[in-house]
Structure 1
Amino acid sequence: MPPHGSDNPSHKPDYGLRPDLVAGLTAAAVVLPKAMAYATVAGLPVSVGLYTAFVPMIVYALLGTSRVLSTSSTTTLAILTAAELGMAVPDGDPAKLITATATLTALTGALLVVASVLRLGFVANLISTPVLTGFKAGIGLVIVLDQVPKLFGIHIAKEGFFRDVLSLVQHLPESSFATLVLGVTALVVLLITERIWPHSPAPLAVVAAGIAVSWFGGLSGAGVATVGLIPQSLPSITLPTPDLVITLLPGAIGIALMSFTETIAAGRAFAVRSDPPIRANRELLAVGAANLSGAFFGAMPAGGGTSQTAVVRSVGGRTQKASFVTAAASAATMLALAPLLGLLPQAVLAAIVIVYSIGLIQPLEFASIRKVRTMEFRWALAAFLGVLAFGTLQGIVVAIALSLIGLSSQAARPRIHVIGRKRGEDLLRPASPEHPDDETFEGLLIVRPEGRLFFANAQQVGDRIRELVAEDKPGVLMLDFSRVFDIEYSALQMMIDGERRFAEEGVAIWLAGLNPDVLDYVRRSGFANHVGNDRMFPTAEAGLLRYLASSRAATKDG
């Protein structure tokens, strides 16, 4: 038997068409029903969902760095689009909605392309994982509430999450029994199927069953709302309008950020070791071009979808040929199945949306965050409540603000350790109740700050060091900078001022472990010359040895 990894053809991955053909068709069975459902979430015709699973998917497949990422709309993008279109076209005029959608999608794409040119790929990391967990949970709950009235066959005016809950309860007596039975049946079937057979083509089967029941049972005549007329054609050219650019720009920024964040997350989650690396700035270009081109063909904002990419990977997809197959299936659906799709009950689409939005709500993830870090759990909870209280687009602002506040608070409060030596060994480490026998040295205080020292934390670091000196009363204060990767001008000036004050109190400052950049800044400031080489050491260990040697010499002379 040839060794693993040999050149035997039987051991090479199959990059032929067959695996991607199977993966693309299987993904289409999952993606297309969901794409139509997400279009209804955005308040758009279901055909817009098919358009979004067509042109953007092809463009990303040509430009993206992920081998298997499947690109169309997602639950998060759909609800963000709904919020923005609701403000831009409050009367819901169909023609205005289509134009507004084209403008919003084009803006989203243009922003992503510009971000790629400016190499802003790092922006994907602006939202921390706990905050994103809270944000997505809020989005998931909003989407579920948005779809529940369709399960009951009732209509409520949208006035915000908490008011909508009250309105839903008040309108329950108006429910359509036939709609409720159909919607709940579809919901239960999807939940059970997803539980025992994740990422299966169950949505396609449920859609087919819903169409069949609608056709043979004459449901539209029984008061059950259906999708209605769908044009039997490929998408026509749709032009954005400059008139809406100013109105839609703030929302487009939020949608662009979320599109990119979801795309990067999905691409990285399903990359395998043999795949090329996911390049953030190239992903910005790819998903930006996908949106920009899709805007002219009736698509809504798109991004990489986690669940559909999971389908492609799980059934053996290897390359972006799978996305071409899915896009071809979308085109075939538009051309051949549009009349049948018009019979699909809205309650069935609502059930699909609910099932695939519930996954955004992860109570166990909240519990895990709380177990590790209580503060970040509070951020997640605040992001969750921010979406419910202020709305989805404002929720993005809340999420980013919380992430930045969290980052700032961590940077502004760097850890400052008093250092001791493990007894009997040449090992310096932070003093801890776990190591009560560690040695400290009379007359010497070793302090190790961690992180970047800059204007926001310089005062706090200086105050803490002064407290430690006041408690210990050393003759020598050794600052171990081995964990400080940068020092800003304000912090450097505070250190210089602090050295002068300590000198007046009879405390000598020694510096140890400065990395090349920090050492360069200290030298440029003139502080290195002031301190002198005899008080600067490559490591804290070297400084300790010098102190012990000088102490022994002083004792001997005494």
Structure 2
Amino acid sequence: MECGVDNDLSHIRIDRPYYEHKQLREDFCYERPKKTNAAKEWSQGFRMKKALMGAIPILDWLPKYSWKRDFVKDIISGFTVAVMHIPQGMAYAILGNVPAVVGLYMAFFPVLVYFIFGTSRHNSMGTFSIACLMTGKAVVQYSDPAYFPSTSTSGDNSTALEPTGLAPIQVATAVTFVVAIIQIAMYLLRLGAVSALLSETLVSGFTTGAAIQVLISQIKDLLGLSIPKFKGNFSAVYTVIACFEALGNLNLAALIISFITITISAINNDYFKPLLSRICPIGFPMELVAVVVGSVVSRYFQLEEKYGVRVVGDIPVGLPVPTLPIFDIMPSLIVDGITIAIVSYTINLSMAFIFAQKLDYEVDANQELLAMGLSNVFGSFFSCMPVCASLSRSLIQQVVGGVTQIASVVSSLILLVILLWIGPFFESLPKAVLASVIVVALKGMFMQALDVWKFWKLSKIDALVWMGTFLTTCSVGVDIGLFCGIALSLGSVFLLSFRPHTCLLGRVPNTDFYLDLTRYKAAKEIDGVKIFHFSGGINFATKSMFKADLIRLVGINPQKEVVYRTKLAKYLGKIEVKQEKSVNLSNKLQKVQGKVNTQLRCLILDFSAVSHIDPSGVSMIKSISESFTKLDIPVYLASCREPIYEMIMKVYPENNIKSGFRTYPTVHDAVHYLTELFETSSNSTISTIRL
């Protein structure tokens, strides 16, 4: 294919003076923006009504709510989500090592607070597998061993098994309160952007690894095994080993229950549910059916008494009495609290943004921190674990027509009926059924393992971050996995910042395009001119890389070039004095002449992609300019953004022609000045550009 300009395209013709940066400022009345006082602006612009609307979003959206148009949709959505809350709540509560009824409490108390303070219209708050798993780890770690008589310690950093006198629910509510305080503190510090630390790659690897942890934690209930609970690092590995050792004692009845429940639920999700969605958006509640049928069959056939199948056990009737969390243990829970607070917030915010973008409404990241924090504070007084948005429930709440969080209130009221009157019905429910419900719900997370191939094709570094996060999470632990993933993600960012993109640019004839010479064949290097392009920040950490790449691409090391030219002048002087050329002197002269670069007449540094520069970076540029100027090679800066130019002027306010480099608003301005300089040796700074 022939390279060149397509004459059939529309053309742009420009007729303007070309400038130095200083002249551009003068001609176009540059004025540096004044610094603003955020506190003063906030106090001046403060309005009580506006502040209340922001802190309590329900005051804004509820008066505008269309009861006639949306209420029926929210009722249907709320009922559907309530049906999902029952099996998921009970199952994930067991995952958190607390009584099953806690999952139903979580679908009631915190949801009412989120209804008032939340900004997402479709997030279904309550139990979520990863948050419950992380809470369950702390519960086992700090509860009195009497509640887990078969608990074993794994790893070197685990707490000794000493009596604490604390019940699992007391530890769980203490964790909830710590998480709440951390989230509220993040809100006050405006740290909503902290979720940016968790990249898509990290979240995918972390949630997939956590799903493996959840699966491993459910093996004992799926197979009816009696194995100890392990705590500390590598607890999942020890659990797998213990399961293999106990396979000879598996409960056949529990295995059959698990197989039937998983098989029927999987068939429903993969085949019946897609078919039914064509007729009705409300899917068949197979999980609820499994829970109800499992409870009836277990009670009728006495599975616990006759076959040793473990069941949910006592479910109290009514609502729990408000109780203060145990404050004494909270200092020990800070690390777990930080981890759970960040993970649950990130998942919640990710879901909120997905629905907000899809349905065109706004979500306030900082307000979500307040909403979750207050929800957890309230929940900690009513026997709740930390809440989080559920991926599956939130999607269902939106798909079946839910419009606002009124759907969540409807769901809560239905669960209130269950708590007040129907709860004891589920006491005979086999734990194998709940474990099966959890495993089937994890399918989407397991499928994320395929993402590693996508990341590998797009970026090897991202794929390594994914694999490192995944392997650490599923083998060592979810908290260590999260911190490892954050460290790997930040490390990859630093690594990429230390290897910025650099290249030499060439001009496409008869245009003002300056393109990478290694990528565009139509771009031609200008005789005697090197245009060096740098992408990234120039600071104390990258200045050495900048200088090394510049010397490598330009082909001249100024320090060595000075030595070569000095030797060349010396040898030429000796030849002129002696008026004859000795063989030895001529050889030396030829070697030195081969090293001297006489082709380069000017160096242009393209700063169009420089994001920032610090004083040490400016000093380095100044040093480079002076080094090349000694060789009679002027250095010009082009396309400096104003903050970059301001920093240069701040470090060297005396900057002028004598200081070694001139600055131009575009590469094209610099090239036109050089072209005129080479042709006419004129020192004029303003001529005309015509393209």
The alignment's TM-score, normalised by the length of structure 1, stands at 0.93
Cα 1:402–1:325 shift into 2, 3 Å: same
The equivalent of 1:89 in structure 2 is: 143
Correspondent of 1:50 among 104, 115, 124: 104
Q: Distance in 2 between matches of 1:48 and 1:154?
A: 24
SS at 1:204 equivalent: helix
Cα deviation for residue 532 of structure 1 reads 6.7
Q: Establish whether residue 545 from structure 1 lines up as the match of residue 672 from structure 2.
A: yes
Cα 1:293–1:272 shift into 2, 3 Å: same
Q: Distance in 2 between matches of 1:200 and 1:404?
A: 44
The equivalent of 1:228 in structure 2 is: 313
Greater Cα radius of gyration, structure 1 or 2: 2
Q: Distance in 1 between matches of 2:377 and 2:364?
A: 20
Correspondent of 1:493 among 619, 640, 650: 619
Deviation per residue, 1:136-191 (Å, 9 max, x gap): 11100111111122111102224422232222122111111111111111111111
The equivalent of 2:131 in structure 1 is: 77
The equivalent of 2:194 in structure 1 is: 123
Cα 1:50–1:92 shift into 2, 3 Å: farther
Correspondent of 1:448 among 497, 516, 533: 533
The equivalent of 1:156 in structure 2 is: 227
The equivalent of 1:307 in structure 2 is: 392
The equivalent of 1:207 in structure 2 is: 291
Q: Distance in 2 between matches of 1:348 and 1:13?
A: 39
Correspondent of 1:416 among 502, 509, 515: 502
Checking the alignment, whether the CA contact within 8 Å between 2:517 and 2:525 is kept in structure 1 is no
Checking the alignment, whether the CA contact within 8 Å between 1:99 and 1:239 is kept in structure 2 is no
Cα deviation for residue 226 of structure 1 reads 0.5
Q: Distance in 2 between matches of 1:20 and 1:477?
A: 67
Aligned-pair identity in percent equals 27
Checking the alignment, whether the CA contact within 8 Å between 1:30 and 1:202 is kept in structure 2 is no
The equivalent of 1:9 in structure 2 is: none
Q: Distance in 1 between matches of 2:548 and 2:648?
A: 21
Q: Establish whether residue 282 from structure 1 lines up as the match of residue 408 from structure 2.
A: no
Correspondence 1:378-457 to 2 at 5 A = 378-433=464-519, 435-457=520-542
SS at 1:529 equivalent: coil
The alignment's TM-score, normalised by the length of structure 2, stands at 0.76
Correspondent of 1:19 among 46, 50, 73: 73
Q: Establish whether residue 260 from structure 1 lines up as the match of residue 345 from structure 2.
A: yes
Q: Establish whether residue 28 from structure 1 lines up as the match of residue 82 from structure 2.
A: yes
Q: Distance in 1 between matches of 2:310 and 2:358?
A: 48
Cα 1:483–1:113 shift into 2, 3 Å: same
Correspondence 1:158-197 to 2 at 5 A = 158-159=229-230, 160-196=235-271, 197=273
* Alpha-carbon RMSD: 2.1
Cα deviation for residue 203 of structure 1 reads 1.2
Cα deviation for residue 108 of structure 1 reads 0.4
Checking the alignment, whether the CA contact within 8 Å between 1:207 and 1:348 is kept in structure 2 is yes
Checking the alignment, whether the CA contact within 8 Å between 1:99 and 1:238 is kept in structure 2 is no
The equivalent of 1:483 in structure 2 is: 609
SS at 2:356 equivalent: coil
Cα 1:64–1:152 shift into 2, 3 Å: same
The equivalent of 1:6 in structure 2 is: none
SS at 1:135 equivalent: helix
Runs (5+) with no aligned partner, structure 1: 1-11
- Farther off after superposition, 137-146 or 452-461: 452-461
Correspondence 1:508-519 to 2 at 5 A = 508-519=634-645
SS at 2:505 equivalent: strand
The equivalent of 2:408 in structure 1 is: 323
The equivalent of 1:460 in structure 2 is: 545
Deviation per residue, 1:444-502 (Å, 9 max, x gap): 11112112222222221222112222258633221111111221223222222222223
- List, as ranges, runs of 4+ consecutive aligned residues in structure 1 with deviation greater than 6 Å: none
Alignment: residue pair count: 543
Checking the alignment, whether the CA contact within 8 Å between 1:270 and 1:309 is kept in structure 2 is no
Checking the alignment, whether the CA contact within 8 Å between 2:601 and 2:634 is kept in structure 1 is yes
SS at 2:309 equivalent: coil
- Letter of the aligned partner of 1:193 in structure 2? N
Q: Distance in 1 between matches of 2:221 and 2:210?
A: 18
Checking the alignment, whether the CA contact within 8 Å between 1:266 and 1:304 is kept in structure 2 is yes
The equivalent of 1:239 in structure 2 is: 324
Cα deviation for residue 527 of structure 1 reads 6.0
Checking the alignment, whether the CA contact within 8 Å between 1:153 and 1:347 is kept in structure 2 is yes
SS at 1:359 equivalent: helix
Q: Distance in 1 between matches of 2:362 and 2:600?
A: 52
Checking the alignment, whether the CA contact within 8 Å between 1:106 and 1:291 is kept in structure 2 is yes
Cα 1:32–1:528 shift into 2, 3 Å: farther
Checking the alignment, whether the CA contact within 8 Å between 1:419 and 1:446 is kept in structure 2 is yes
